[in-house]
Amino acid sequence: AQKITQTQPGMFVQEKEAVTLDCTYDTSDQSYGLFWYKQPSSGEMIFLIYQGSYDEQNATEGRYSLNFQKARKSANLVISASQLGDSAMYFCAMREPNYGQNFVFGPGTRLSVLP
């Protein structure tokens, strides 16, 4: 079974609008970490935001926020005020400490920001 599911292969958003990228995860552990990474067309992986499973508040980093719904096992990324430079692949990932340093990535969502 897939541990990380990103159901939106591609998304479009108008510049300056907000967009939500979906991520659901599957784990039986109580302690885990959730990450979002951005991969522009140049290929590098850029860390965006982190949410720990015991964090009571949703994580925020500038224009990025993580909508964490633990009971639903979802960790959606919200990008506010989209910019043309936000066009990229976005990956959700999970770290499960009980499996050593095993990180699992989702298949990604390609976001295109329209002018």
Nearer to other proteins, 16 or 70 (CB): 70
Judged by CB under 8 A, which of 60, 98, 102, 112 binds other proteins? 102
Q: Which residue has the tokens 């964490």?
A: 68
DSSP structure string for the chain: --SEE---SEEEEETT--EEE--EE--S-SS-EEEEEEE-TT---EEEEEEETT-SSPPEETTEEEEEETTTTEEEEEE-S--GGG-EEEEEEEEEGGGTTEEEE---EEEEEE-
Judged by CB under 8 A, which of 45, 81, 84, 114 binds other proteins? 45
Judged by CB under 8 A, which of 25, 36, 68, 91 binds other proteins? 91
Judged by CB under 8 A, which of 1, 43, 62, 72 binds other proteins? 43
Listed ranges 14-22, 65-73, 79-87, 101-109: which one lies at the site for other proteins (CB under 8 A): 101-109
60 binds other proteins (CB under 8 A): no
35 binds other proteins (CB under 8 A): yes
Q: Which residue has the tokens 């140049």?
A: 42
- How many residues bind other proteins (CB under 8 A)? The answer is 22
